[in-house]
Copies of this chain bind each other. A is one copy, B any other.
Amino acid sequence: MAGRAAEPEVIWARPERAGRGPRPAYTRRDIADAAVRIADSDGLEAVSMRRVAAELGCGTMSLYNYVPRKEDLYELMVDAVSGEYDLPEKPSGDWRADMTALAHQTRALMYRHPWLARVMTTAYFLSPNALRYLDWCLGCLAPLDIEPGLKMQLIAMVNGTVMATVVNEQALAERARSLPWTEEQEQSVRAAYLARQAAGGRYPHLAELLAAPSVPVDPDEIFDMTIARLLESFAPPVTGA
Protein backbone atom coordinates (compact mmCIF):
# COMPACT_ATOMS: atom_id res chain seq x y z
CA MET A 1 0.00 0.00 0.00
CA ALA A 2 0.87 3.67 0.19
CA GLY A 3 3.57 3.73 -2.47
CA ARG A 4 4.53 7.40 -2.62
CA ALA A 5 3.79 8.67 0.84
CA ALA A 6 1.27 11.45 1.43
CA GLU A 7 2.33 12.32 4.94
CA PRO A 8 2.97 15.84 6.05
CA GLU A 9 6.61 16.34 5.27
CA VAL A 10 9.24 18.85 4.42
CA ILE A 11 11.27 18.02 1.36
CA TRP A 12 14.46 18.81 3.25
CA ALA A 13 13.67 16.06 5.73
CA ARG A 14 14.02 13.44 2.98
CA PRO A 15 17.48 12.06 2.46
CA GLU A 16 18.67 13.06 -0.98
CA ARG A 17 19.91 9.54 -1.67
CA ALA A 18 18.07 6.44 -0.49
CA GLY A 19 20.00 3.35 0.54
CA ARG A 20 18.73 0.88 -2.00
CA GLY A 21 18.15 1.06 -5.69
CA PRO A 22 20.08 2.55 -8.58
CA ARG A 23 21.91 5.77 -7.84
CA PRO A 24 19.90 8.81 -8.86
CA ALA A 25 20.98 10.41 -12.09
CA TYR A 26 20.64 13.96 -10.79
CA THR A 27 21.13 15.88 -7.60
CA ARG A 28 18.64 18.28 -6.11
CA ARG A 29 21.07 20.95 -7.08
CA ASP A 30 20.92 19.92 -10.75
CA ILE A 31 17.17 20.16 -10.68
CA ALA A 32 17.12 23.48 -8.85
CA ASP A 33 19.64 24.96 -11.26
CA ALA A 34 17.62 23.84 -14.26
CA ALA A 35 14.46 25.38 -12.85
CA VAL A 36 16.25 28.61 -11.95
CA ARG A 37 17.71 28.80 -15.44
CA ILE A 38 14.25 28.53 -16.95
CA ALA A 39 12.68 31.03 -14.57
CA ASP A 40 15.49 33.53 -15.10
CA SER A 41 15.22 33.41 -18.86
CA ASP A 42 11.54 32.74 -19.55
CA GLY A 43 9.75 33.74 -16.40
CA LEU A 44 8.26 31.79 -13.55
CA GLU A 45 5.24 30.66 -15.54
CA ALA A 46 7.56 28.79 -17.90
CA VAL A 47 8.70 26.54 -15.06
CA SER A 48 6.68 23.36 -15.48
CA MET A 49 7.57 19.82 -14.54
CA ARG A 50 7.75 18.90 -18.22
CA ARG A 51 9.98 21.81 -19.07
CA VAL A 52 12.37 21.21 -16.18
CA ALA A 53 12.56 17.53 -17.06
CA ALA A 54 13.30 18.43 -20.68
CA GLU A 55 16.00 20.86 -19.55
CA LEU A 56 17.56 18.02 -17.56
CA GLY A 57 17.05 15.54 -20.35
CA CYS A 58 14.94 13.06 -18.43
CA GLY A 59 11.33 11.90 -18.49
CA THR A 60 8.74 14.11 -16.84
CA MET A 61 7.71 11.61 -14.24
CA SER A 62 11.26 10.91 -13.21
CA LEU A 63 11.27 14.30 -11.57
CA TYR A 64 8.73 13.05 -9.06
CA ASN A 65 11.39 10.80 -7.61
CA TYR A 66 13.15 13.93 -6.46
CA VAL A 67 10.33 16.40 -5.98
CA PRO A 68 7.08 15.09 -4.52
CA ARG A 69 5.08 18.17 -5.51
CA LYS A 70 5.67 21.07 -7.79
CA GLU A 71 5.52 23.36 -4.81
CA ASP A 72 8.66 21.68 -3.55
CA LEU A 73 10.37 22.62 -6.77
CA TYR A 74 9.92 26.23 -5.74
CA GLU A 75 11.48 25.35 -2.41
CA LEU A 76 14.51 24.00 -4.26
CA MET A 77 14.71 27.13 -6.37
CA VAL A 78 14.65 29.46 -3.39
CA ASP A 79 17.30 27.38 -1.70
CA ALA A 80 19.53 27.46 -4.75
CA VAL A 81 19.52 31.23 -5.11
CA SER A 82 19.79 31.68 -1.34
CA GLY A 83 23.19 30.12 -1.78
CA GLU A 84 24.22 33.31 -3.57
CA TYR A 85 24.31 35.25 -0.32
CA ASP A 86 27.80 36.33 0.50
CA LEU A 87 28.02 35.85 4.24
CA PRO A 88 31.34 36.92 5.74
CA GLU A 89 33.24 34.77 8.19
CA LYS A 90 31.77 36.53 11.20
CA PRO A 91 29.46 39.47 11.93
CA SER A 92 31.02 42.88 12.17
CA GLY A 93 29.62 43.58 15.60
CA ASP A 94 27.46 46.40 14.25
CA TRP A 95 24.15 44.64 13.83
CA ARG A 96 22.54 47.59 12.06
CA ALA A 97 25.26 47.66 9.42
CA ASP A 98 25.13 43.90 9.01
CA MET A 99 21.36 43.77 8.62
CA THR A 100 21.40 46.71 6.22
CA ALA A 101 24.02 45.03 4.07
CA LEU A 102 21.94 41.87 4.11
CA ALA A 103 18.85 43.76 3.00
CA HIS A 104 20.83 45.17 0.09
CA GLN A 105 21.97 41.70 -0.85
CA THR A 106 18.40 40.45 -0.77
CA ARG A 107 17.27 43.26 -2.99
CA ALA A 108 20.05 42.57 -5.47
CA LEU A 109 19.15 38.89 -5.40
CA MET A 110 15.55 39.70 -6.22
CA TYR A 111 16.63 41.77 -9.17
CA ARG A 112 18.91 39.05 -10.44
CA HIS A 113 16.00 36.62 -10.15
CA PRO A 114 12.82 38.55 -10.85
CA TRP A 115 10.63 35.62 -9.88
CA LEU A 116 12.10 35.33 -6.41
CA ALA A 117 10.00 37.90 -4.60
CA ARG A 118 6.79 36.29 -5.78
CA VAL A 119 7.89 32.77 -4.96
CA MET A 120 9.00 33.76 -1.48
CA THR A 121 5.33 34.41 -0.81
CA THR A 122 4.93 30.65 -1.09
CA ALA A 123 8.14 29.15 0.33
CA TYR A 124 8.83 28.15 3.88
CA PHE A 125 12.42 28.88 4.72
CA LEU A 126 13.48 25.52 6.05
CA SER A 127 16.02 24.82 3.34
CA PRO A 128 19.70 24.47 4.23
CA ASN A 129 20.61 27.82 2.74
CA ALA A 130 17.61 29.49 4.34
CA LEU A 131 18.69 28.15 7.72
CA ARG A 132 22.24 29.23 7.03
CA TYR A 133 20.91 32.70 6.28
CA LEU A 134 18.72 32.70 9.36
CA ASP A 135 21.57 31.56 11.56
CA TRP A 136 23.80 34.25 10.17
CA CYS A 137 21.13 36.86 10.92
CA LEU A 138 20.84 35.63 14.47
CA GLY A 139 24.60 35.85 14.76
CA CYS A 140 24.48 39.45 13.60
CA LEU A 141 21.79 40.19 16.13
CA ALA A 142 23.69 38.64 19.03
CA PRO A 143 24.77 42.01 20.41
CA LEU A 144 21.16 43.13 20.43
CA ASP A 145 19.59 42.43 23.79
CA ILE A 146 15.94 41.74 23.05
CA GLU A 147 13.59 38.76 23.27
CA PRO A 148 14.56 35.91 20.91
CA GLY A 149 11.06 35.99 19.47
CA LEU A 150 11.54 39.64 18.66
CA LYS A 151 14.70 38.85 16.76
CA MET A 152 12.80 36.45 14.54
CA GLN A 153 10.18 39.12 13.98
CA LEU A 154 12.88 41.62 13.09
CA ILE A 155 14.38 39.30 10.52
CA ALA A 156 10.97 38.53 9.07
CA MET A 157 10.09 42.20 8.86
CA VAL A 158 13.34 43.13 7.13
CA ASN A 159 12.85 40.38 4.57
CA GLY A 160 9.21 41.27 4.19
CA THR A 161 9.99 44.91 3.64
CA VAL A 162 12.53 44.11 0.97
CA MET A 163 10.04 41.80 -0.65
CA ALA A 164 7.30 44.40 -0.58
CA THR A 165 9.59 47.02 -2.07
CA VAL A 166 10.73 44.82 -4.89
CA VAL A 167 7.29 43.44 -5.68
CA ASN A 168 6.07 46.99 -5.90
CA GLU A 169 8.88 48.00 -8.21
CA GLN A 170 8.54 44.95 -10.41
CA ALA A 171 4.79 44.70 -10.77
CA LEU A 172 4.69 46.60 -14.03
CA ALA A 173 7.67 44.90 -15.64
CA GLU A 174 6.36 41.48 -14.69
CA ARG A 175 3.01 42.14 -16.28
CA ALA A 176 4.56 43.39 -19.49
CA ARG A 177 6.79 40.30 -19.61
CA SER A 178 3.88 37.89 -19.85
CA LEU A 179 1.78 39.89 -22.30
CA PRO A 180 2.28 40.63 -25.96
CA TRP A 181 3.19 44.28 -25.58
CA THR A 182 6.05 46.28 -24.22
CA GLU A 183 6.47 47.82 -20.83
CA GLU A 184 6.46 51.26 -22.41
CA GLN A 185 3.12 50.68 -24.11
CA GLU A 186 1.66 49.38 -20.90
CA GLN A 187 3.00 52.31 -18.94
CA SER A 188 1.65 54.90 -21.35
CA VAL A 189 -1.77 53.28 -21.41
CA ARG A 190 -1.86 53.26 -17.65
CA ALA A 191 -0.70 56.85 -17.39
CA ALA A 192 -3.33 57.96 -19.88
CA TYR A 193 -6.03 56.11 -18.02
CA LEU A 194 -4.93 57.57 -14.71
CA ALA A 195 -4.93 61.09 -16.11
CA ARG A 196 -8.41 60.57 -17.54
CA GLN A 197 -9.73 59.33 -14.22
CA ALA A 198 -8.11 62.15 -12.30
CA ALA A 199 -9.66 64.65 -14.70
CA GLY A 200 -13.07 63.16 -13.95
CA GLY A 201 -13.18 64.94 -10.62
CA ARG A 202 -13.78 61.90 -8.47
CA TYR A 203 -10.23 61.88 -7.19
CA PRO A 204 -9.30 65.47 -6.37
CA HIS A 205 -6.14 64.75 -4.41
CA LEU A 206 -4.85 62.42 -7.08
CA ALA A 207 -5.57 65.07 -9.71
CA GLU A 208 -3.67 67.62 -7.68
CA LEU A 209 -0.73 65.27 -7.36
CA LEU A 210 -0.64 64.54 -11.07
CA ALA A 211 -0.88 68.23 -11.89
CA ALA A 212 2.03 69.16 -9.64
CA PRO A 213 5.46 69.19 -11.24
CA SER A 214 6.91 65.84 -10.35
CA VAL A 215 10.28 65.76 -8.72
CA PRO A 216 11.81 62.34 -9.19
CA VAL A 217 12.27 60.39 -5.98
CA ASP A 218 15.26 58.16 -5.47
CA PRO A 219 13.98 54.68 -4.59
CA ASP A 220 17.34 53.66 -3.16
CA GLU A 221 17.21 56.50 -0.71
CA ILE A 222 13.73 55.55 0.43
CA PHE A 223 14.79 51.97 0.73
CA ASP A 224 17.73 52.79 2.96
CA MET A 225 15.65 55.11 5.08
CA THR A 226 12.93 52.54 5.54
CA ILE A 227 15.29 49.77 6.53
CA ALA A 228 17.09 52.08 8.93
CA ARG A 229 13.87 53.11 10.61
CA LEU A 230 12.63 49.55 10.74
CA LEU A 231 15.79 48.48 12.55
CA GLU A 232 15.44 51.35 14.95
CA SER A 233 11.92 50.28 15.77
CA PHE A 234 13.28 47.08 17.26
CA ALA A 235 16.19 48.58 19.14
CA PRO A 236 15.53 49.53 22.73
CA PRO A 237 15.21 53.28 23.20
CA VAL A 238 18.60 54.82 23.78
CA THR A 239 18.22 55.94 27.34
CA GLY A 240 21.35 57.98 27.70
CA ALA A 241 22.16 59.29 31.21
> What is the interface of chain A, defined by CB distance below 8 A to chain B?
6-10, 12-13, 71, 117-118, 121-122, 124, 126, 131-132, 134-136, 138-139, 142, 147-153, 156-157, 159-161, 163-165, 167-168, 171-172, 175, 179-181, 185-186, 189-190, 193-194, 196-197, 202-206, 208-209, 212, 214-217, 219, 222, 225-226, 228-230, 232-234
Contacts and interface: CB of A to CB of B under 8 A. Distances in A.
Given A147-B215, A209-B138, A124 B171 contact: yes
A121 to B, nearest CB: 5
Nearest to A171: B124
Given A138-B208, A157-B164, 20 more contacts: A8-B181, A8-B185, A8-B186, A12-B193, A122-B171, A124-B171, A124-B172, A131-B203, A134-B203, A147-B217, A148-B209, A148-B215, A149-B216, A152-B217, A156-B168, A164-B164, A225-B233, A226-B233, A230-B230, A230-B233
A226 B8 contact: no
Nearest to A227: B233
A157 B217 CA distance: 14
Nearest to A180: B6
B171 A165 contact: no
A149 to B, nearest CB: 4
Contact of A214 (B148, B196, B234): B148
A232 to B, nearest CB: 6
Contacts of A216: 149
Contact of A160 (B156, B168, B181, B217): B168
A176 B222 CA distance: 36
A222 B153 contact: yes
10 contacts: A9-B189, A10-B193, A124-B175, A124-B190, A135-B203, A148-B212, A157-B222, A226-B230, A229-B232, A229-B233
B209 A151 contact: yes
A133 B180 CA distance: 30
B164 A160 contact: yes
A190 B126 contact: yes
A230 B205 CA distance: 22
Nearest 8 Cβ contacts at the A-B interface: A160-B164, A229-B233, A138-B205, A149-B217, A135-B203, A8-B181, A8-B185, A164-B164
